Amino acid sequence: MEGILILALAYPAAIAVLFYLAFLRPVHQHQRKQRDELASLRVGDEVLTQAGFIAVIKEVRVPEEHGPTELILDLGGIEVRAVASAIAQRISPARDPEPAPQVERKEITEQVPS
């Protein structure tokens, strides 16, 4: 009799765990990835908006108080304001205006005494 009671409780619990692993966890991972990507947007990044426009970020405005982060987007000569959540994905990161300086490398040769 106790075995039936344990199975009656374990079966719904197992279904709940499988439901979480199959449906909810992937959604949460995707949302976390998108939230992290939006937080890392920088001036000069080329982005795709939810509306399908490809734009370059000209300015990022973070409000002092609670509110959405605003972006100034360049749509090929036309500047528009948008909230950060309107960005679907980053197409390419900002390019550095100056390449990093090359460090001169010297070969060091040591002679091992024999």
For 67-82, how does the pLDDT look when each residue is reduced to its tens digit (9 = 90+)? 888 999 999 999 999 9
Residue 109 forms part of a structural domain: no
Q: Which two tokens mark 21?
A: 């692993």
Range of the domain at 66: 42-95
**What is the length of the chain?**
114
Instruction: Say which residue the tokens 């959405």 belong to.
Output: 68
Residue 111 forms part of a structural domain: no
Please tell me whether residues 13 and 49 are part of one structural domain.
no
Please tell me whether residues 1 and 30 are part of one structural domain.
yes
- Read off the pLDDT band of 100 (50, 70, 90): very low
Q: By the 8 A CB rule, do 43 and 59 touch?
A: yes
Residue 89 forms part of a structural domain: yes
Q: By the 8 A CB rule, do 75 and 55 touch?
A: yes
Please tell me whether residues 56 and 91 are part of one structural domain.
yes
- Read off the pLDDT band of 3 (50, 70, 90): confident
Q: Over the stretch 36-71, which tens digit does the pLDDT of each residue have?
A: 888 788 999 999 999 999 999 999 988 888 888 899
Instruction: Say which residue the tokens 């001169």 belong to.
Output: 104
Total domains in the fold of the chain: 2
For residue 107, the model assigns a pLDDT of 56
Nearest to 33 by CA among 88, 70, 71, 92: 88
Please tell me whether residues 50 and 24 are part of one structural domain.
no
Where would I find the H helices in the chain? Answer: 2-19, 25-39
Please tell me whether residues 32 and 60 are part of one structural domain.
no
pTM value is 0.59
Please tell me whether residues 68 and 23 are part of one structural domain.
no
